[in-house]
């Protein structure tokens, strides 16, 4: 039986690496993107050229009604998702004292509300499969420890961790696991503006992480071998702790 999984924010960076990893594990991957259709199609092409299966799913996770409509139409047509990776996220860094209301709202709406907007309409179809399932959220080192200039981002990712742990308790009896992966400094567009030499000095392993290293952990959490792991926050941060 073919298992479908959804990866939000899958057109680049960590999301792209996760989509490719899960496709290589035999899943049919829903590649969600917001605006960059060309990049998302390139992900699908990469997956399909390697013998995998992928579908494009354009929607903005911060738009609740549109997200629900898109997911409900897709599920009705192609069947429920066996797994979901909540990866889509944005930043708008700055000191809280001068942070604009729209920067607070945009980060919380995308990073935290996006969890509800995506998982809630996908959840009962997943339960009705009666086949277990996997949900993984991509949180952050900042959500675990906080970070200067990221009150909005840290709040959104800490909230995501709380939601993950609560949902894990709600669906455990269904055999569905729910975990969070908390990356540290990963070489993506999101950290491209940071001073690399200063950043790596903070990391015990003295280097940036790669998206594929995050994806490898997500791939493991989607495997049968990870069936007894749930409600956990697992860091990929080079030893930042």
- Cβ–Cβ under 8 Å, residues 160 and 180: yes
Contact residues for 47 (Cβ-Cβ < 8 A; gap 6+): 19, 20, 23, 29, 31, 53, 54
From the candidates 33, 81, 141, 153, which is the catalytic residue?
A: 153
**Known catalytic residue: 116?**
no
For 63, list phi and psi in degrees, rounded to 5. Answer: -100, 100
Q: What is d(CA 123, CA 133) in angstroms, rounded to the nearest whole number?
A: 10
**3-class DSSP state of 233:** strand
In whole angstroms, give the CA distance from residue 122 to residue 236. 27
Q: What are 53's two structure tokens?
A: 């299966």
First to last CA, the chain: 39
* Residue 88 tokens, joined: 């889509």
Q: What is the largest CA-CA distance in the chain?
A: 53
Coil, helix or strand for 47?
helix
Catalytic residue numbers read 153
């Amino acid at each position: 039986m073919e298992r479908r999984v959804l990866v939000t924010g899958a057109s680049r960076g960590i999301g792209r690496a996760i989509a490719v990893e899960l496709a290589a594990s035999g899943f049919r991957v829903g590649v969600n993107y917001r605006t960059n259709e060309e990049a998302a199609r390139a992900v699908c092409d990469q997956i399909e050229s390697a013998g995998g299966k992928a579908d494009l799913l354009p929607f903005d996770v911060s738009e609740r009604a549109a997200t629900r409509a898109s997911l409900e139409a897709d599920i009705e047509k192609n069947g429920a998702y066996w797994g979901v990776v909540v990866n889509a996220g944005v930043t708008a860094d700055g000191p809280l004292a001068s942070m604009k209301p729209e920067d607070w709202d945009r980060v919380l709406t995308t990073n935290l509300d996006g969890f509800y907007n995506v998982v809630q309409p996908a959840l009962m179809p997943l339960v009705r499969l009666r086949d277990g399932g996997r949900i993984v959220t991509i949180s952050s080192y900042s959500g675990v420890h906080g970070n200067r200039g990221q009150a909005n981002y840290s709040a959104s990712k800490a909230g995501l961790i709380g939601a993950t742990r609560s949902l894990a308790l709600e669906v455990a009896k269904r055999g569905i696991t729910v975990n969070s992966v908390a990356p540290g400094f990963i070489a993506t567009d999101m950290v491209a503006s940071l001073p690399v030499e200063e950043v790596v000095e903070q990391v015990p392993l003295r280097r940036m992480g790669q998206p594929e290293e995050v994806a490898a952990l997500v791939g493991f959490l989607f495997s049968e071998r990870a069936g007894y792991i749930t409600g956990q926050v697992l860091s990929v941060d080079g030893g930042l702790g």
